[in-house]
Each structure stands twice: as structure tokens, then as C-alpha cells.
Amino acid sequence: MKVTILQGSARKKGNTARVLTWVEEELISLGHEVDSIYLHSKNLKGCLGCAKCKEKPDTIGCVQKDDVPEVLEKMIDSQLIIFSSPLYFWGFSAQIKAVIDRTYSLYTNYNLPDHASLIDGRRQALIATGAGPYDDNAEGMVAAFGRMQKYHKAINAGELFIDSCSTPDAMGDSVQQKAIEFARKIVA
Ligand SMILES: Cc1cc2nc3c(=O)[nH]c(=O)nc-3n(C[C@H](O)[C@H](O)[C@H](O)COP(=O)(O)O)c2cc1C
């Protein structure tokens, strides 16, 4: 399947990137086509909340002029989208949050019988890392991610939060194994 990874950490060799490397290697070894987008190199503006995008269900229709429509097109063209982020103040990094907010342009008529989404049926997975534990720390981010699929008409393929991170090199075999198992699970 076609997989798009949204790399949401600015640190190209950081903790999140290390986990993504293991996931990506496993997905490629299973025969999947993986495209990874380093969001920090892109021009990403926030959602204006103008709702111009809601006028036509069959186009993205966002009025912002930046690199996000190109990222959204790649999401539309994939069967699996992996959102990734370091945990920043109990939530997503600014880079991935900008893209998440702009996915507002991918669906129309939420909660109505003609609710439509340009990413209907796509799988979505979350990979996040944090310095602290899961409890009283990461559950808000994971809950927000889990609510998103209803709006996107997407499928939640799974969430992986790696807690107690310090440096990439300190992540041992057990984290690598978790990443590999997660990769297998989200395409199964
Ligand atoms: C601005 C900022 C905010 C952070 N907030 C949290 C937090 O709320 N909870 C947590 O567990 N770790 C927090 N951290 C630590 C990072 O989530 C953690 O080091 C992560 O693994 C970094 O990933 P990266 O190397 O991919 O950037 C924060 C780090 C920064 C720089």
C-alpha cells in the first residue's frame, strides 16, 4: 500500500525520527511504498477558519497559499497516513498541528447524511515520543488523534506512544521491537 509519513519533529535525528526509521524500514521490507515528508522544511500556515473549503466537497479548496495543499494531496493519494510528533506541552508539535488543522478542508457536511471526505476509508496511525510517562501526559494527544477519524471518515490503524525518551541512542531493542510490531499492525 502507499504510505505517507508526516514527520512532525524538527529534529531530523531525534527520538521520533529514530522510531520512524524502524517503522519505515519494516514497511518497506513488507513491500509497501513509503513517502516521508519532513514538515519542518515546508511552508506551513495555520487554518484561517474561513470555511471557504466547505463550499465544494470534491476539492481541497483551501485559500491559504503555502505547501499544505501538496501535503494534503499526498494524504489523499495514500492508503495509510502516519502522523508523527514529539509530545510538546501535552499536545502536537506546531508543524504537525498546522497540517492537522488544515485537514478541515478535506471533509464537508460533518454530521449530515451527505458527510463527505476526500480521505474516506484511509488508515491513519499516530507515532509520538515524549520525555515523560503516558499517564497524565500523553493521553490528550492520543484522544485528539482518535477523534479525528470520525471527521475524516478514516480508519484508526493504531497509536504508538514511546514514553521516557532521552536520546535516540538510549532507545533500546525493546523500543525497536515495538516499532516493528506497530508497523506490521497498521498495515494488517
Ligand atoms: C517545547 C517542548 C515541550 C515538551 N513537552 C513535553 C511534554 O508535555 N511531555 C513530555 O513527555 N515531553 C515533553 N517534551 C519532551 C519531548 O517530547 C521529547 O524529548 C521527545 O522525544 C522529543 O522528540 P524529538 O527528538 O523527535 O524532537 C517537550 C520538549 C520540548 C522541546
Q: C-alpha grid cell for residue 155?
A: 480508519
Ligand 1 contact, 95 CB (< 6 A): no
The pairing of beta strand 80-86 with beta strand 116-117: unpaired
Element housing 81 (H / E): strand 80-86
How high is the mean pLDDT of the chain? Answer: 98
Q: Phi and psi (nearest 5°) for 47?
A: -70, 135
Say if residue 57's pLDDT is above 90: no
Q: Tell me the C-alpha to C-alpha distance, in Å, between residue 147 and each of 100, 129, 143.
A: 12, 20, 6
What is residue 3's predicted lDDT score, i.e. its pLDDT? 98
Task: For 101-138, write each residue's pLDDT tens digit.
Answer: 999 999 999 999 999 999 999 999 999 999 999 999 99
Q: For the chain, which residues make up each domain, given as ranges?
A: 2-187
Q: Domain 2-187, what fold?
A: Rossmann fold (3.40.50)
**Closest atom, ligand 1, to C-alpha of 133:** 11
**Closest atom, ligand 1, to C-alpha of 17:** 26
pTM, 2 dp: 0.98
**Confidence bin at 56 (pLDDT 50/70/90):** confident
Q: C-alpha grid cell for residue 34?
A: 513509503
CA of 162 to the centre of ligand 1 (A): 11
Task: For 153-181, write each residue's pLDDT tens digit.
Answer: 999 999 999 999 999 999 999 999 999 99
CA 89 to CA 67: how far, in whole Å?
A: 25
Ligand 1 contact, 8 CB (< 6 A): no
Residue nearest to atom 22 of ligand 1 (CA): 86
What is residue 165's predicted lDDT score, i.e. its pLDDT? 98
Ligand 1 contact, 131 CB (< 6 A): yes
Summarize the confidence of residues 80-100 as an average pLDDT.
98
Question: CB of 48 within 8 A of CB of 64?
Answer: yes
Radius of gyration of the chain (CA): 16
